[in-house]
Amino acid sequence: MKQAELIKILSDGNFHSGEEIGAALGVSRAAVWKKLQKLEAMNIPFNSVKGKGYRLPEAVTLLEEQALFDYGFPQNTFDEITIELSLDSTNNAMMQAAENNVTARKICFAEMQTSGRGRRGRAWVSPFAQNLYFSVLWPFSQGIAAIQGLSLAVGLAVHRAMKELGVNGSGLKWPNDILAEYQGKKAKLGGILIELTGDITDACQVVIGVGLNLDVQIKDQVHIDQAAVGIKQLGVNVDRNKITAIVVSHLVEVLKSFSKTGFAPLKQEWNDADTFCGRDAKLILPSSEIYGKCAGVNEKGELALDTEQGIQMFNAGEVSLRLDALK
């Protein structure tokens, strides 16, 4: 019996007795208990109440291949599609897969991550079956030079998906964030983590990690170091499998075009979605901070910052708004 079968029974959020679960799965109560212990070892939360049985803390919609396919997921694009209940990080899983795959395209989803990662070593809070966490393994034949601007292109793909889903007020922040207007502030809707392996001058494999907030609850906000919001809080309540299929479909479309023509054809569309354009900001570099006004990106995806010394271009770092710009 796979753990997924047990989770599917519990996914309605109602209590189920050990006898009921055992009957549904055709196993003994002892076998059910062992499987529940494995869920606990995987850090998947569930409630156990004597006389009532077992349940997940709340009803959830699990990712399922057939449901994804029914919603138009581009299954033929990938050599392998994996959906895991729990992983330390989907990017870690795809980085390991890249070691023995030079040309394969793979995608890996996790219902939760125990060590989800963002840029600059930040933790990415990943509660069970609540948001969207996945990574794509995608080969590039021309090395690291061919992927300049890739994180911006991926962000644009997610932004397109948000528009299709009817998420109002979403926009992009250089180089890898999807933001949305929420309660008068810019809140983080999603993020992207790009990692590279292989020959940086020739054939290389890129792992593209995407985290998208679907439902950011108050109990999770205490673990997040910045304002965050889910599309549910923005008034969009769509089946989780449908959201996933739409996001991945836009991502595949962008990756295919980016592989041929790079970021340049996407520049104007990205600049149109830039939530920081014309705003006072500071660029945080490893050993310094530079202040200026954001002036969009160029054909390479480099940030233009209008400083006291004039326009300067940057291809790395993190943009943060000044406090006075939030007034």
In contact, 275 and 281? CB cutoff 8 Å: no
Cα distance between residue 157 and residue 252, in whole Å:
8
Cα distance between residue 177 and residue 320, in whole Å:
11
Is residue 5 left, alpha or beta, with left meaning phi > 0 and alpha meaning psi from -120 to 50? alpha
Annotation says 322 is catalytic = yes
Residue with tokens 């709340």: 58
Angle between helices 18-25 and 3-10 (to 10 degrees): 130
Q: How far is CA 146 from CA 114, 142, 158, 201, 248, in A?
A: 32, 6, 21, 9, 21
In contact, 314 and 303? CB cutoff 8 Å: yes
Catalytic residue among 35, 55, 160, 188: 188
In the structure encoding, which two tokens stand for residue 122, read together? 């930040």
Annotation says 188 is catalytic = yes
The answer to whether the bond into 45 is cis (omega within 30° of 0) is: no
Annotation says 120 is catalytic = no
Calculate ∠ Cα 45-50-54, nearest 5°: 35
Catalytic residue among 8, 105, 119, 242: 119
Catalytic residue among 2, 38, 256, 322: 322
Q: Do β-strands 106-113 and 80-87 pair in parallel, antiparallel, or remain unpaired?
A: parallel
Active site residues: 119, 188, 322
